[in-house]
Amino acid sequence: MDKILEAVVTSSYPASVKQGLLARRVGCQLLHVAGRHHPEVFAEFFSARRVLRLLQGGAGPPGPRALACVQLGLQLLPAGPAAEEVSALLRREVLRTACERPGPAVCAQLARLLARHPRCLPDGPHRLLFCQQLLRCLGRFRCPAEGEDGAVEFLEQAQQVSALLAQLWRAQPAAILPCLKELFAVISCAEEEPPSSALASVVQHLPLELMDGVVRNLSNDDSVTDSQMLTAISRMIDWVSWPLGRNIDQWIIALLKGLAAVKKFSILIEVSLAKIEKVFSKLLYPIVRVAALSVLKYMLLTFQHSHEAFHLLLPHIPPMVASLLKEDSNSGTSCLEQLAELVHCMVFRFPGFPDLYEPVMEAIKDLHVPNEDRIKQLLGQDAWTSQKSELAGFYPRLMAKSDTGKIGLINLGNTCYVNSVLQALFMASDFRHCVLRLTENNSQPLMTKLQWLFAFLEHSQRPAISPENFLSASWTPWFSPGTQQDCSEYLKYLLDRLHEEEKTGTRICQKLKQSSSPSPPEEPPGPSSTSVERMFGGKIVTRICCLRCLNVSSREEAFTDLSLAFPPPERSRHRRLGSVMLPAEGVGAREPPPLSPAQVPSRVGLRRQRKHCITGEAPHPVLDIEGLSSQGLGEQGSREEKVERDEEAKEERADEEDVQEEQEEEERTREKEEKEKEVEEEKGEKEAEKETEEEEEEGGGLGPGSPRATGPSAEASRSVLDLVNYFLSPERLTAENRYYCEPCASLQEAERVVELSRGPRYLILTLLRFSFDLRTMRRRKILDDVAIPLLLRLPLAGGQAQAYDLCSVVVHSGLSSESGHYYCYAREAAARPGPSLGAAGRPEPEHQWYLFNDTRVSFSSFESVSNITSFFPKDTAYVLFYRQRPGEGAPAEPASPRGWTEPTLHKDLMEAISKDNILFLQEQEKEARSRAAYISALPASPHWGRGFDEDKDEDEGSPGGCSPAGGNGGDFHRLVF
């Protein structure tokens, strides 16, 4: 073909014939031949008029072939006036072409032409207009073909156009900021069709030194609406999928930081929830993995007011980990390590969801676990630190009541210790009914506030309510606002306040009744028990036996909870009834007390206790400060005793030597008796253990974390019964703890025995986990796993026992009493053998367990309660609620409606609940209307509709972290009590 064209052009035909031939057969090959062999003829032919006709030959912008011919012609055209005339024409035509929004192929050819011949670029103010029009052209790019070849060609075309823009910005830096404004206008426009992700190719050419100033100006621009900003940042996050872009993640993170700096949290929350799953999905592709992981880490580590964003990813994490492991590349390995570190940070930040986290923790169990300092560093470096005072009531979302029918409590700023206690008290049905039956006119303001709180927890339509007013009324004076506190301490203070308030109110009512009565005053009736006494009150008897004169003194005291200390490690393996002892409470160790005649009981275990006691070994290194006061060490010495102590020192030494000889003699006699009866005791204990196992099986089974699972591997574990027996076991009072015996009129060694004379209806057990370590001189938490039985037989005085069913467990997650998080497992009433299933396939309310985690309430199971510490070592049972079993051995009731109903509320309270429910429905309707109007201004995307309208499962809902937004990160249209 080249030879034919060359022969035509070099022939002796007239020039007019040759020009006509060129006009009819224009092509790159012909132009090349003409320009090379006949430059004069070519220059006359390739005139400005001919170029204009070539560019405007068809409708719309010129095609790629025409632009290619123009580019070749410019290359062959010799310098001179004709060339200048063509260049001037092209400076106008390329701007017109860009304004006509050509496709990727034409734009790419135009970029090649101008990159090769920069003299054809528009000059003056037209150059800025040309840059802006090129940006709009990029926004219209659409990949024309499917498959790998089409995608590669599309990427190359976008890169060529963005490279031309970079060339223009280097020549004219002043055009960058106006171009950025144009770029923001393109990506923030609420058009039906979103702009092309090809705009991401421009970001790599933006100077990073402009980032801070651009973001600051943009985030503080009052002319930019929240809707525009939300649309723009959402589309920028979509650019993470652009494979050839550099610095995209840096610009996205900078813009997110700018929005956080000006407290535009609604945008941040909305865009995080809408886009975090899409960003996470990009980790599958190595070419965009680095940028996607960078954006994902920032979004998760800053979204700390709520676990909602993290919980959106939970279903996707195990398959992602499996895919990355299968990939087996350096990039995949690095991504896995960072992802595992990120998951550990989020689990640390939002504890209390064992059922949701178990599959994720199983998937990453073989990966590196960061230490706590590293986790705290990551959580602290990117947090929205200014959000804490605003997010609790900042961002209302359309929320529905939990599928459980239960209502959560809003965390008001490290108040999870209050929420967990209130939910446990609420689920104690007898106590709840007692509170709800309170009359309207009473003299118990705190109980009245609790009545209102319980009534709304029972009957409100809101997903969560705020206990602010009740917290203010029941505030413990020595607590610091906004800091984590001990839930057990708050519970004790609350019950004491309610008890004293009811006693005072009763006395006032009696005096008023007597003063208003005209008849002569009658004898005042005896003091009646309060609600707290009836529900939580028990009696404990303390007997102290002097080991010299064998005199026994006893004292009966009331209690509302039992504080159970942990036995020393060497004692924990003896699991039989009465086979555990109290730890050394003082500096000296306990010696085995002799068996006095006053203490030869019918209880078998007392003799066996002495077999395992500590005799001269070093005391347990942990001293339970909180357990000292609750267990009463018998320090009853008065001032007189202190004076007598010096005077009687010599006499006591002599007496002690005599007592020592008597003790040794009695010890030998007792050991002989023990050997004779050991076989008989072992037989009795085996029968008792068998009976206990049968009772535990009646209570519904204990699961893998129960005391029943006590094989050789579980020998060192403890159960609640171990701690109860340890609390009830005899204690030797020696050295500084000696007892002042009145008959002896001196300090004497003694033995103290504690027995329960009457069990409460609701037994509250506090496991003393927060202790003082004498080695480090610091408070620490005992993380030992304690098996929690579903059925507990509490030993009473006289060899009797009372059966109790587990109904609530308050769990502490963390390493210190001053930090961490509390949540509560609870169920309605005492368990019965063989729980029946309801219509929905769930157990009846008496057997169904719930997990209360601030505003989040979800279904749970006793298996979750039993295994909580095995899955999450920092999550340990702290306060246990047991309900007295009313009739032991009663036949199981068939599946039937409950035998009890909620009490009828007084009129004012019912009206208040009804009005609030109507108000809540109105708020929901108003919110839905405004949200629909808001969505209509946003680009159509499946993510928006799902985020606003879909009725999500509660497990994907709101948080349990200890933060001002604590249960859900939202407002819930707050109703304050």
Helix, strand, coil % over all residues of the chain, rounded to 5:
55, 10, 35
Identify which of 552, 658, 656 has the alpha carbon closest to the alpha carbon of residue 596.
Answer: 552
Catalytic residue among 416, 487, 807, 962: 416
Residue 625, H or E segment: helix 625-631
Q: Please say whether the beta carbons of 881 and 807 come within 8 A.
A: yes
CA distance 766 to 559: 12
Q: Please say whether the beta carbons of 310 and 303 come within 8 A.
A: yes
CA distance 567 to 725: 10
* Per-residue b or e along 180-195, where b marks 16 or more CB atoms closer than 10 Å to that residue's CB: bebbbebbbeeeeebb
Tokens coding 886? 């009313």
Residue entry with tokens 């200390």: 565
What ranges in 852-941 are assigned the alpha helix state H?
862-871, 907-936
Catalytic residue among 38, 499, 612, 821: 821
Q: Please say whether the beta carbons of 850 and 858 come within 8 A.
A: yes
CA distance 314 to 371: 22
Q: Quick check: is 821 catalytic? A: yes
Residue 409, H or E segment: strand 408-409
Residue 536, H or E segment: helix 531-536
Identify which of 931, 585, 937, 838 has the alpha carbon closest to the alpha carbon of residue 726.
Answer: 585
Identify which of 624, 825, 868, 806 has the alpha carbon closest to the alpha carbon of residue 726.
Answer: 624
CA distance 791 to 830: 9
Residue type, 283: L
The residues that bridge with 809 in the sheet, in sequence order, are: 825, 880
CA distance 365 to 352: 18
Q: Please say whether the beta carbons of 611 and 578 come within 8 A.
A: no
Neighbour-count burial of 908, counting CB atoms closer than 10 A to its CB (0-12 exposed, 13-18 middle, 19+ buried): exposed
Q: Please say whether the beta carbons of 629 and 488 come within 8 A.
A: no
Question: Largest alpha-carbon pair distance within the chain?
Answer: 149
Kindly write down the DSSP assignment for every residue of 807-864, as one continuous string: EEEEEEESS-TTSSEEEEEEESS---SSPPB-TTSSBPTTT-EEEEETTEEEEE-HHH
Identify which of 951, 875, 839 has the alpha carbon closest to the alpha carbon of residue 397.
Answer: 951
Who contacts 606 (Cβ-Cβ below 8 Å, separation ≥6)?
578, 595, 599, 730
Q: Quick check: is 973 catalytic? A: no
* Backbone angles phi and psi of 540, in degrees to 5: -130, 135
What ranges in 100-210 are assigned the alpha helix state H?
104-116, 125-139, 148-171, 176-187, 200-203
Q: Please say whether the beta carbons of 42 and 20 come within 8 A.
A: no
Tokens coding 847? 């057997």
Identify which of 262, 263, 247 has the alpha carbon closest to the alpha carbon of residue 295.
Answer: 247
CA distance 136 to 198: 11
Tell me the catalytic residues: 416, 821
